[in-house]
C-alpha cells in the first residue's frame, strides 16, 4: 500500500469511529485508502462525499453529481443552483458551486458538485484529526440539511 493510501485509510478509520458515535449518516460508509469516502443515497451517480487532500492538508464535504449523462448532471445541479441564495442562507455560509463545463475550454465534463469551504488541518499529525473529523461531520450535517428540501434529495427518506 502506498504511503498516501495508508494515511488516508488511517484517517478514514478514525473518522468513522469518531462520527458514528454521534450520527447514523455514515453507518453504511466504508473506509479505504482513497482520498474520499462516499455516502450512498440510493441514487446512482449522486452521492455525498467527505474528502481530504492529505498532501495539502485540506478536507471538505460535497454533494456530487456524476451520472453517465452530462445533461442529467447539469439538470440536477441546476435544480439546486437556482435556489443558491436560499441554500447558502440555510447553510450559513457561501458554498462552492462547481460546474466543470468550461474548464480549460475542453468539451463538457460530466461531473458537477456543491462543495463546502476547505478545512485546513495537519494530515500527518493524528492529534489534530479529531477536531477535523468533528468539523467535517458538522459541515456534512449542515450541507445535507441545507439541500434536502430541494431537487432530487426531496425524495430521499434517510436525510
Q: How do residues 92-131 score in pLDDT, each as one tens digit? A: 999 999 987 655 545 557 889 999 999 999 999 999 999 9
Residue 96 corresponds to which cell in the numbers above? 462552492
Helices (H), the chain: 3-19, 70-81, 84-91, 129-147
* pTM listed for this prediction: 0.90
pLDDT at 2 over 60: no
Distance (Å, rounded) from C-alpha 59 to C-alpha 92? 19
> In 3-state terms, what secondary structure has residue 129?
helix
Q: What percentage of the chain has pLDDT greater than the value 70?
A: 91
CA atoms in the 13 A half-sphere facing the CB of 129 = 20
Residue 127 corresponds to which cell in the numbers above? 492529534
At residue 155 the predicted structure's pLDDT band, cuts being 50, 70 and 90, is confident
pLDDT at 103: 56
pLDDT at 1: 40
Amino acid at each position: 500500500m502506498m504511503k498516501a493510501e495508508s494515511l488516508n485509510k488511517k484517517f478514514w478509520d478514525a473518522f468513522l469511529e469518531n462520527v458514528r458515535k454521534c450520527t447514523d449518516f455514515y453507518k453504511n460508509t466504508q473506509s479505504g485508502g482513497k482520498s474520499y469516502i462516499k455516502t450512498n443515497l440510493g441514487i446512482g451517480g449522486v452521492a455525498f462525499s467527505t474528502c481530504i487532500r492529505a498532501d495539502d492538508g485540506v478536507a471538505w464535504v460535497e454533494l456530487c453529481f456524476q451520472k453517465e449523462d452530462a445533461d442529467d448532471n447539469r439538470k440536477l445541479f441546476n435544480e439546486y443552483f437556482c435556489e443558491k441564495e436560499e441554500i447558502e442562507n440555510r447553510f450559513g455560509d457561501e458554498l462552492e458551486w462547481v460546474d466543470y463545463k468550461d474548464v480549460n475550454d475542453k468539451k463538457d465534463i460530466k461531473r458537477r458538485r456543491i462543495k463546502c469551504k476547505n478545512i485546513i488541518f495537519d494530515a500527518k499529525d493524528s492529534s489534530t484529526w479529531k477536531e477535523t473529523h468533528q468539523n467535517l461531520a458538522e459541515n456534512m450535517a449542515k450541507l445535507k440539511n441545507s439541500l434536502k428540501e430541494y431537487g432530487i434529495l426531496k425524495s430521499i427518506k434517510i436525510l
